[in-house]
Amino acid sequence: MKPLSVLAPADDPRVLEAVQQYLAELEAGRKPLRADWLARFPGIADELTSYLDVLDVVHAGAPLLQEPPAPESPPAEPLGDFRIVREIGRGGMGVVYEAVQLSLGRRVALKVLPFAATLDARQLQRFKNEAQAAAQLHHTNIVPVYAVGCERGMHFYAMQLIEGRTLDAVIGELRGDAARDLPSTGATTENRAAAHRDTSRGRHSHLLGAGRSLRDRESFRRAAQLSAQAADALEYAHEAGVVHRDIKPANLLLDAKGNLWVTDFGLAQVSTDAGLTRTGDLLGTLRYMSPEQAAGRPLEVDHRCDVYSLGATLYELLTLQPAFPGDDRQTLLHEILNDEPRPPRQIDRSIPVELETIVLKAIAKSPGDRYGTSGEFAADLRRFLEERPILACLLYTSDAADE
């Protein structure tokens, strides 16, 4: 069998056409007989076989998303050392499965590059960069990667399966939303990439207060503690030459013990991959994107974009509202580039003024007005937690606006 070639469809459009037809049959609930299908394409049968192998493996696990397999059901075909159990999320940068690592008998989250993406050399390189970036980071608040591989032309990597919920889900519960369907967030089910199916709804939101009317200084302190953990993780990543570029509540996991985990390095910039980003590319989730990212100026994007995005996340943890509430892409883009966020204490006067000052510094329009590093951001959060004077100083706060 010939190995999967990313360039094959570009060289021979018959391969891509045949693959698309086969995929359409599978999605319609019809699985063509392999021998009959290959007989329709005798000139490319050998090359086409590699692609059909990939599609068959992916679709073998797809029904598991709807309902658990019966005990007598045969397991999906293993992908290397991993047996797929069920799908737990998908998005543009990968499909994530709960899987079992057969050699060790442990449950993992297995992220697999979507088949269509293997036809795009840039997508494939970004996936490889994501796996490499995550695998080189060993920090108590970054979801660890166990293995990276490619089997039958399918690229994947395995990471720790976190029992918990995303901050996105926790914020929605605090706000009282049933589904948190904010427009233009760019959120997908892949945002639970390393999180196991949650059976503990309500067990995490108490860590940040049970609701707006019951939130107190301790709940705000808890938000600061979680943000400091994320800032520590980002500082470690930045020192290793990795910029996340997509920090948002949906990419931060809160486990049952109250620890925070940074996940999903799918858009990470590694010091060696600058050529993958071009002027005009918008990488990240718009609602949490720094102005320099939103403006499509990649040469101006550095580690301070993560400072901004984490600040926007903390803003939402404190206020239960996004820093910029635009309900369509164009409005949101205009707000990010031109408007100042509403000071948090104008939304909730119980938010400590020190936290408001810290947040507004983190999400300053100009990178030079933000914290210089994520470490500085974390240090000021801990000054607040230790009831010491913070170093951030802003002229524009809710108190200044009231005068």
Q: 3-class SS at 35? A: helix
Helices (H) and strands (E) in the chain, counts: 14, 10
d(CA 354, CA 358): 6
**φ/ψ of residue 75, rounded to 5:** -70, 155
260-313 pLDDT tens trace: 999 988 888 887 655 544 433 556 689 999 999 998 877 788 999 999 999 999
110-165 pLDDT tens trace: 988 865 555 566 677 777 777 888 888 999 999 999 988 887 777 888 999 998 89
Q: CB-based burial of residue 186 (10 Å sphere; 0-12 exposed, 13-18 middle, 19+ buried)?
A: buried
Of residues 109 and 217, more confidence is placed in 109
* Structural domains of the chain ordered from first start: 8-160 (3.30.200.20), 195-402 (1.10.510.10)
Buried/exposed 360-380: b ≥16 CB within 10 Å, e otherwise = bbbbbbebeebbebbbbbbbb
In Å, how far are 22, 77, 280, 338, 379 from 283, measured between CA atoms?
Answer: 31, 34, 9, 19, 28
Question: Tell me, what amino acid is at 106?
Answer: R
Give yes or no for a contact between 102 and 81, defined as CB atoms under 8 angstroms apart: yes
Check residue 243 and give its pLDDT. 94
Residues with Cβ within 8 Å of 263's Cβ and at least 6 positions away in sequence, in order, are 142, 143, 159, 162, 193, 194, 195, 251, 252, 253
Check residue 377 and give its pLDDT. 98
Task: For residue 348, indicate whether it is catalytic.
Answer: no
Q: 3-class SS at 304? A: helix
Residue of 53, 168, 232, 246 with catalytic role: 246
Check residue 197 and give its pLDDT. 43
345-400 pLDDT tens trace: 999 999 999 999 999 999 999 999 999 999 999 999 999 999 999 999 754 555 55
At 204, the pLDDT band (50, 70, 90 cuts) reads low
16-64 pLDDT tens trace: 677 777 777 776 777 788 888 788 888 888 777 777 766 666 555 444 3
Question: Tell me, what amino acid is at 340?
Answer: E
